[in-house]
């Protein structure tokens, strides 16, 4: 389960990465207009892990998934793909598969563990590290806050 969500994302990437050996019906990257951005995306809760660590507060997902009957096998994303620790490997894969952009979400409760007020600087530092690595790898970043 740990890397299932990211594996799904990368299954899509691998499909695109193998475009030369697949029957694409004539569709290729060049079929798209100049400036078309190929990207992939994740959701903070689905990939970050460290749900109860690093100073992060609970989000509605943390509460929802712990209510019986909502999620098969009572699974949670407490660890998920652990992108918090593996973001470099994930960004390296984006670069390897020639993606232009990575849309990710910024967990509000990682920045504001109590909802408002006090800032969790460890959370800010995590996003800084990841964004800096995306910049280093030349990947466009698109952040949204959840
Ligand atoms: C999920 O949690 C509920 C409530 O604690 C429990 O009754 C049920 O057996 C759990 N299911 C699994 C697959 O662990």
Mean pLDDT of the region 2-14: 41
Instruction: Give the full edge-to-edge strand order of the sheet including 140-145.
Output: 39-41, 101-106, 140-145
Whether residue 12 has pLDDT greater than 50? no
Q: Is the CB of 128 under 6 A from ligand 1?
A: no
Predicted confidence band of residue 51 (pLDDT cuts 50, 70, 90) = very high
Domains and CATH numbers, the chain: 41-145 (3.30.750)
Residue 73 CB–ligand 1 contact under 6 Å = yes
What is the pTM assigned to this prediction?
0.78
For the segment 98-117, the average pLDDT, to the nearest whole number, is 95
Distance between CA atoms of residues 54 and 48, nearest Å:
11
CA of 62 to the centre of ligand 1 (A): 16
- Among 68, 73, 75, residue to substitute to test ligand 1 (most atoms within 8 Å of Cβ): 68
Query: Do the beta carbons of residue 35 and residue 63 sit within 8 Å?
Result: no
Q: Is the pLDDT of residue 106 over 50?
A: yes
């Amino acid at each position: 389960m740990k890397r299932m969500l990211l594996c799904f994302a990368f299954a899509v990437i691998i499909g695109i990465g193998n475009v030369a050996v697949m029957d694409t019906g004539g569709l290729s990257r060049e079929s798209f207009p100049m400036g078309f951005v190929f990207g992939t995306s994740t959701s903070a809760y689905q990939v970050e892990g460290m749900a109860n660590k690093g100073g992060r507060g609970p989000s509605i997902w943390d509460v929802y998934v712990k209510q019986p009957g909502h999620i098969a096998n009572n699974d949670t994303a407490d660890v998920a793909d652990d992108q918090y620790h593996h973001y470099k490997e994930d960004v390296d894969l984006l670069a390897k598969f020639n993606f232009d952009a990575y849309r990710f979400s910024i967990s509000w409760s990682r920045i504001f563990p109590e909802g408002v007020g006090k800032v969790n600087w460890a959370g800010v530092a995590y996003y800084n590290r990841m964004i800096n690595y995306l910049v280093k790898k030349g990947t466009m970043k698109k952040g949204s806050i959840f």
